[in-house]
Amino acid sequence: MFQTLANAWKIPDLRKKILFTILLLVVFRFGSVIPVPGLDKGALEALASNSNSLFGFFDTISGGAFSNATIFAMSITPYINSSIIMNLLTVAVPALERLAKEGEEGRKKIAQYTRYGTVILAFIQASGLYAALQNSVENPGILSFITITLTFTAGTAFLMWLGEQITDKGIGNGISLLIFTGIVSRGSEGINAMLSFMQGYNYSFWSIVGVIAFLVLAVLIIAFVVTINDGERRIPVQYAKRVQGRKMYGGQSTHIPLKVCMAGVIPIIFAMSILSFPPTIATLFSVNPQPGSFWYGFMSLFQQDNWFYGIVYFLLIIFFTYFYTSIQFNPVEMANNMKNNGGFVPGIRPGKPTADYITKILSKVTLIGAFALGIIAVLPIVLGAVLNMNIGIGGTSILIVVSVALETVKQLESQMLMRHYKGFLE
């Protein structure tokens, strides 16, 4: 990876793109320390302190902007939610499905709808935050409501524009790089957690050994994530030969790549949202049940150190992995396209038998990916409970950081390869 970056830096065009990307990421970090006028910082710190709530997740991907009550407090999460909703609607609404198949113009139209949805969701989320933090506003009123909600909304809209500029004129996917930067900027918290762990045991030999073992395990987890992220099952496809006039077409062999983690981090986000819903609602409405009551026992089930939380979290990830994969990939449509273009899987009849065969393979691959996602998501929780240490980065964060790094490096390599062939042809 470092060799790729060094080689890319030597190319003037790519060097400009890298510098442009770094500049916009620096703008993002500067904006993460500009406070929102009229809002008490301590109130958002209290919301973000509960790592089991959605606010803790917002604070992680925003790089601490949420707990610092800055203009980028909501980060890019409304855009993520809008994108997920548009993906689901594209499958459910025939008009959007037709629009998605119209090529570049259709994708531009869907991107425009996603932007509108982002602004709407950002305003709704900002209004909810204002309602939850109304007691912490210096001068509550209609003017404060307009100022704070529009500031939050404008911050998210600016981040969306910033990400699109990085995608168009820089290197990598801009939205992903913004999330990547926010997560990596919280790395100091992980270092402080390890130092506090050793300090709690007076820097004894076994505490140092425990931290070293944790670091080794972290490297193994990253290697496991890389393997799962790049893993795929290739189904061979053969295209029949056909003669048109005096020329023969077709006859080539190719394959259908089925990625192990086709759903990415979406299942983890869905599962986290569902399990975080009760604690988040309790936080918003300041619900504090007394020990021994039914609601106290019910709320304790949704704490990360509870075995019930870990088991349900794992099962929800498996369910949503299958659910989202079934939405993203349609074996019947794939089989029909192959049949119409004269393609077939060797040993399998075209049409329904091919669709059934792809569905069977996809089910097995998805099961492996679902278990891998579940292990990656639950393992930091287990380690935190065993070591009695607050780990600053979770399974979702690890997946995002690794996948974005790999995606960016691959894009750099592809652009270097394109320029190499261009120079060769010239």
- Residues with Cβ within 8 Å of 297's Cβ and at least 6 positions away in sequence, in order, are none
Q: Which two tokens stand for residue 181?
A: 């930067």
* Tokens of residue 370, six digits: 């679902």
Higher pLDDT, 200 or 34: 34
For the chain, domain boundaries: 1-186
At residue 290, the 3 state secondary structure works out as coil
Opening angle at CA 207, ends 203 and 208, nearest 5: 80
Residue 174, Cβ density class (10 Å: 0-12 exposed, 13-18 middle, ≥19 buried): buried
Kindly report, residue by residue over 386-398, the tens digit of the pLDDT: 666 555 556 677 7
Q: What is the pLDDT of residues 50-103, one digit of tens each?
A: 555 566 667 777 777 777 788 888 888 888 888 888 877 887 788 888 887 777
List, as one string, the DSSP characters of 168-207: HHSSS-HHHHHHHHHHHTTHHHHHHHHHHHHHHTTT-HHH
User: pLDDT-based confidence at 162, cuts 50/70/90?
Assistant: very high
Distance, in Å, from the CA atom of 176 to the CA atom of 407, rounded to the nearest integer, reads 10
* pLDDT at site 219: 83
Whole-number Å distance between alpha carbons of 97 and 113: 13
Spell out where 18-73 has E strands: none
What is the rounded average pLDDT of the residues 346-371?
89
Rounded to the nearest 10 degrees, how much is the dihedral formed by the CA atoms of 161, 166, 168, 172? Answer: -130
Q: pLDDT tier at 158 (50, 70, 90 boundaries)?
A: very high
Report, at the CATH architecture level, how domain 1-186 is classified: Orthogonal Bundle (1.10)
CA-nearest of 377, 371, 372, 251 to 313 is 377
Instruction: Give dist(CA 322, CA 408) in Å, integer.
Output: 27
Q: What is d(CA 21, CA 216) in angstroms, rounded to the nearest whole number? A: 32
Quick: pLDDT tens for 2-46: 677 777 777 788 888 889 999 999 999 888 888 888 777 776 777
Total-model pTM: 0.76
What is the Rg, in whole angstroms, of the alpha carbon atoms belonging to the chain? 24
Q: Are strands 247-249 and 242-244 parallel, antiparallel or unpaired?
A: antiparallel
Return the pLDDT at 49.
66
Residue 70 tokens, joined: 């800055």
